[in-house]
Structure 1
């Protein structure tokens, strides 16, 4: 897997990523993982064990209300890349998708009046598409560009996520509009990988590596073109549903992440739910109901925060287990070992061994 400008993941980078409570927040729709699982199956690989180790299942990925965390998604992706042995897996997952892969957003793209309208809709609601990157639209001399930025410093996955993101955007446009579509240009920050020719073959446009940022550029003439499935009535319906989902998602994210930050700051002492409710001006019963409406519980959030913190401490420090257990609010090292087995399907010593091998210079 190519790294950003030759950068190798370091202990400090891993620690910064894992210590951010948002890393464990289940706020991402599982679309990317659904197609990763599909591509793996088509190649004769079963990702069920990897999904299980991340606390997921193939059946659960089809659940409309399911949300996964960045930690879960990145864990499955890393295992898939290792198992399939394909450094260009991100491109394969991206180009495998069709306009229906993005659900309501896909329908909205089809119903948009022009390609520009479709691109603006996709960028506005990219959180619903399961992307693990963030996007913004920027005017450029050629027309407009989608700029992708990482949510976490995660150089090990940057190339995969960019390839899947830009590859799926182009795949959806070709599916909804015309198969001959080509972007104006593609630029990425990482070095040209050994499979760099795959970029030119797939995107069929100039590709720049070692660029200042990651961008997919659309020509002005293409942006003005009408789409064959344009339907103002359908678009209005879809936009209303997406706006409602976006508002609900933002409320969930604010509530969940606020509680996770509070728990993370309080460890090893976990603030009781009554205290959390009082701080938010509501009753304990109301807070439980709000969490249930968002598909989670306070106990699950506490578990998630402990999981992320445990992963950080065990893979970036040499602290003894009994000290880590105390830092997480567990009674003893035995309780921590049971939690690690439940979270990761392995032992603390095995986790530390694997992390040590990854940090060892090649």
Structure 2
């Protein structure tokens, strides 16, 4: 493999969701990343249980097949872990710790794929099922192909962590499934070189470009054409059928949850009754409650999330009195708002106003 950085036409890519979005409270993400974050912390003698509890989660919940978490919950746990462990390179460590089996059905599909290129295409296509907190696409480049990663929500301070976890886990899975000697052709990241920048070169074993126009992991054609030792057409066909069903179900659940959140957000300070929401969707209240339970949430929890998002925005970007904010959120008075803010954020409204804007806000 050449040590030269390949000549690739890099062009800036638009970041997804460059504004505060109430949907980041939707519990639609599998807890894969948080499972391995918790595991790495435990291996270092640190218990993330309290951090999970503050986000409304638990270690047991992370191991439930049906469990889904919101972007907000994931971000909160990651932020707490970075602060408590004091390791800015934690994303690299969490990614390196993973194996193909960590990705469940998607991991099995990767193993059963004919070539590395086919495996990468499958991973990008079904990345949502793996609990990714970034979005991906794959595109050809001279001499190979690249996976590009983009933020799902606005310029988060967690972007570096998420990117490092993502790129290092992809490389870890390939080394696990194909060969320990695997190395990408090059790594391009938009952030500046961190103090631990040497760890990139040691782990990825390829040229790394910091301050690039976009975030991409580049693969050379010889590696992409490598046959995977576990390739099996019959198993792959079974896995693809299951993944297709899972993705369809996941989209239906996400559409339901996000649709309800948007409806609630548009109607604040009035909260539409559940009966009205069910009728608008052509189902009974009981059916809607059951559908939400299958998504791992309740209507009351969605209302709480929408209010949380709006409260954070109003407290950190507006100079309104508390009674006015309470009225905008549909609370009876400022005292009720104070209690809710303390429950949501672990701090008072006045402390919220002294804080920096939230990571997901633009």
- Residue 223 of structure 1: how far off its partner (Å): 1.1
Equivalent residue number for residue 6 of structure 1: none
CA distance in 2, matches of 1:240, 1:113: 17
- Residue 16 of structure 1: how far off its partner (Å): 6.3
* SS state at 2:157 partner: helix
- Residue 54 of structure 1: how far off its partner (Å): 1.1
* SS state at 1:59 partner: helix
Q: Which runs of 5+ in 1 are unaligned?
A: 1-12
Equivalent residue number for residue 266 of structure 2: 265
Equivalent residue number for residue 193 of structure 1: 194
* SS state at 2:53 partner: helix
* SS state at 1:134 partner: strand
Contact 1:142 1:217 in 2 (8 A): no
Equivalent residue number for residue 167 of structure 1: 168
Q: Which runs of 5+ in 2 are unaligned?
A: 1-14
Equivalent residue number for residue 32 of structure 1: 33
Equivalent residue number for residue 138 of structure 1: 139
- Residue 283 of structure 1: how far off its partner (Å): 3.3
CA distance in 2, matches of 1:350, 1:127: 35
- Residue 286 of structure 1: how far off its partner (Å): 3.2
Deviates more, 1:176-185 or 1:301-310: 301-310
- Residue 138 of structure 1: how far off its partner (Å): 0.3
Equivalent residue number for residue 181 of structure 2: 180
CA distance in 1, matches of 2:208, 2:130: 25
5 Å-filtered alignment, 1:161-310, equals: 161-310=162-311
CA distance in 2, matches of 1:337, 1:256: 27
- Against the structure 1 CA distance between its residues 148 and 252, is the aligned structure 2 distance closer, same or farther, given a 3 Å change threshold? same
CA distance in 2, matches of 1:173, 1:304: 38
Contact 2:90 2:161 in 1 (8 A): yes
- Residue 234 of structure 1: how far off its partner (Å): 1.5
Contact 2:27 2:295 in 1 (8 A): no
* SS state at 1:355 partner: coil
* SS state at 1:76 partner: helix
- Residue 277 of structure 1: how far off its partner (Å): 2.4
5 Å-filtered alignment, 1:27-106, equals: 27-106=28-107
Question: TM-score normalised to the size of structure 1?
Answer: 0.90
- Against the structure 1 CA distance between its residues 355 and 210, is the aligned structure 2 distance closer, same or farther, given a 3 Å change threshold? closer
Contact 1:142 1:184 in 2 (8 A): no
CA distance in 2, matches of 1:338, 1:34: 30
Deviates more, 1:294-303 or 1:327-336: 294-303
- Residue 336 of structure 1: how far off its partner (Å): 1.6
Deviates more, 1:330-339 or 1:110-119: 330-339
Equivalent residue number for residue 323 of structure 1: 324
Equivalent residue number for residue 8 of structure 1: none
CA deviations over 1:116-143 (Å, ceiling 9, x no partner): 1110110011011111100001011121
CA distance in 1, matches of 2:48, 2:309: 22
CA distance in 2, matches of 1:74, 1:210: 24
Tell me the C-alpha RMSD between the 2 structures. 2.0
Q: Which runs of 4+ in 1 moved over 4 A?
A: none
Equivalent residue number for residue 8 of structure 2: none
CA distance in 2, matches of 1:171, 1:255: 35
- Residue 38 of structure 1: how far off its partner (Å): 1.2
Equivalent residue number for residue 9 of structure 1: none
